[in-house]
Amino acid sequence: MKQNLLFNPKGNDEVSARTIIKGSTTGLFNLNAVKYPWAKSLYQVMIGNFWVPEKVSGLKDDARSFHTDLSPEEQRAYKGILSFLIFLDSIQTVNLPHFSDYVTSPEVNLILSIQTYQEAIHSQSYATILETVVESKERDEIYYFWRSDKTLLARNEYIGQIYQDFITNSSDANFFRGIVANFLLESIYFYNGFAFFDTLVDNIKMLATGRMIAYIRRDELTHVTIFANLIREIRKEFPEIYDEKVIRDMMKIAVEQEIEWSSHILGEKIPGMNKETTKEYTRWLANNRFAMLNLGPLYPEAIENPYKHLDRLQDPNSDKGNFFETTVVNYTQSSSMSGSWDF
């Protein structure tokens, strides 16, 4: 793999010559000539999803609810899951440009830049939650929970090392593993944490945190789609780099780690969640994500989402769905934007 030149006078920006990686572009963002229409579509969605954490109201109510409504087990899970989410978005914010430097499609570079911005917004969101909900003496403990929790440290080290391997040695194999790691991080690693916050909301607890997480989850779904498309394009254009075994092996590790960590931090005293539902949900989700890659299920027995309340919360026809999602849907400052990138 060769990093893109900042300016390459000998490059060729014609669509017919464009490839997702290993191309030779001038460095100019010629967005009037697009090869990958999915990137154009994602651009419109991602810009339309614009939000900032400071506009989410009600966190002071959550600060009271944290102490009065949450059990000690729920408080521990709330803080531990925030710690993991903070790590994930921190590493994504810093790392995404390393991969974008090897992508040779300006329309894809554009949405990766938007993703980087969104990951930074997510980091600020978690900081806003901690500043408002959690006592100041506990904040460093949450940020650095991995120093004292071996299960969390192992998770952080696994994904961090894959990214570092590519930065240190930008080989084809390390690039592909890094792209797959991005896909797994965005599609698997967040979601038991999200399910915990959604479960609190379903029990009318920590509602502002739930709204914040809903915005973040909406962004993350576009990020999942970006990397699913990157993997599919590599499979099409560079079959010698694509390796289905790597995807399956890494997904198995991701699922096992997600089940271990989620079971560890949630325990057996969170209403509506336990080790069995964690396992069922994570395996079901893995199958769902594999379908995005046009791959068969990794866990054929996992055919149902055990968390029916997640569907209810996201159903605009249900009372709780209206309460939970209306703000998320309506708080889209650019929702009426037709966009200048409209061909």
Tell me the angle at which helices 207-237 and 191-202 cross, rounded to the nearest 10 degrees: 150
Distance (Å, rounded) from C-alpha 181 to C-alpha 98? 14
- Total count of residues recorded for the chain: 343
HSE, side-chain direction, 13 A CA sphere, residue 115: 29
Tell me the angle at which helices 244-266 and 150-168 cross, rounded to the nearest 10 degrees: 150
User: Is 281 in the active site?
Assistant: no
Residue where the block lists tokens 């090392």: 161
> What does the buried/exposed string (b/e) look like for 315-339 if buried means 16 or more CB atoms within 10 Å of the residue's CB?
eeeeeeeeebbebbeebbeeeeeee
Q: Which residues pair with 273 in a beta bridge?
A: 270
Q: Which burial class, exposed, middle or buried, applies to 148 when counting CB atoms under 10 A from its CB (0-12, 13-18, 19+)?
A: exposed
Q: Which of 78, 126, 189, 299 is catalytic?
A: 126
Distance (Å, rounded) from C-alpha 335 to C-alpha 330? 8
Give catalytic residues, as residue numbers: 126
